[in-house]
Amino acid sequence: MNAFILAAGQGSRLRASIPKCLLEVNNEPLLERSLKCMKGIDSIIKSVVIIGNGGVWTKDTEGQALKIAHKYSAETIVNKNSMETHSTESLKIALEEMKQLDDLLIIDGDLVYDERIVKELAQQEGSVLLVGEQHSSSGSKVKYEKNKSGQVILQEISESIQSEYVYLGMMKLDKDHVLIIKDLIEEPKYKKDILAVILNDICKVIELRCFFLIKDVAERVPCIQGNVININTKNDLENAGRIFNK
């Protein structure tokens, strides 16, 4: 299995002077937290970090990210158009660079989470998206329905729909579905879109199962912290520091 960390974000809403993936929670950069987690999953053969260019991505911050990646034997790829594009373009660039495609774990680079959540996600059969209850108005919301086998399958994902559940920035794709997405993502119309846009189209073609943070993860792993925090504000950083205090 390969793992992609989509870490090219500028963090404009935070008004930070460094990329979001270099922000620290309990004195540890978000990028390092994620790479440490990837290193602890036996099925992951290769980790790849997609970083940005321009804005807060300077020679200094790029060097910091490269140093962290090297520490965990991860590859780095630069999205040279990160100022004008979003996560879909980062994913496209990373897929183009991969000589051999395999099952794929994709994680947003601005997340703080319990590493056991990712381990559970990586063990799932087929292609799955991590889904949780919505605690704010932001984020890509999901609608789902059960198939004939009783599995909960994604039907729609968008920031504009009404739903109690939201995509939590992690997914695991099987190899066959990676190939389908790789072909679809080449279409120019997706170049400046967030990842939810292509997921909304791809779920009409393949089955993407919803893997629920509380129902599917917390019940399987006793005492797990049922939290995945997307760092968008200073309050998010403070909350993450309290919840994940070592």
Which of these, 27, 9, 140, lies nearest to 79 by C-alpha position? Answer: 9
How many residues does the structure list for the chain? 246
Q: Which of 4-18, 67-81, 153-167 has the lowest mean pLDDT?
A: 4-18
Q: Domain extents for the chain?
A: 2-243
Whether 238 shows a pLDDT value over 80: the answer reads yes
pLDDT digits (tens, 9 = 90+) for 150-208: 899 999 999 889 898 999 999 999 999 999 999 999 999 998 898 999 999 999 999 99
**What integer is the mean pLDDT of 219-232?**
64
**222 DSSP assignment:** T
Q: Is the pLDDT of residue 139 over 80?
A: no
Cβ-in-10-Å burial (0-12, 13-18, 19+) of 115 comes to middle
At 97-126, the pLDDT tens digits run: 998 889 999 999 999 998 889 999 999 999
What is the second-level CATH architecture of the domain 2-243? Alpha-Beta Complex (3.90)
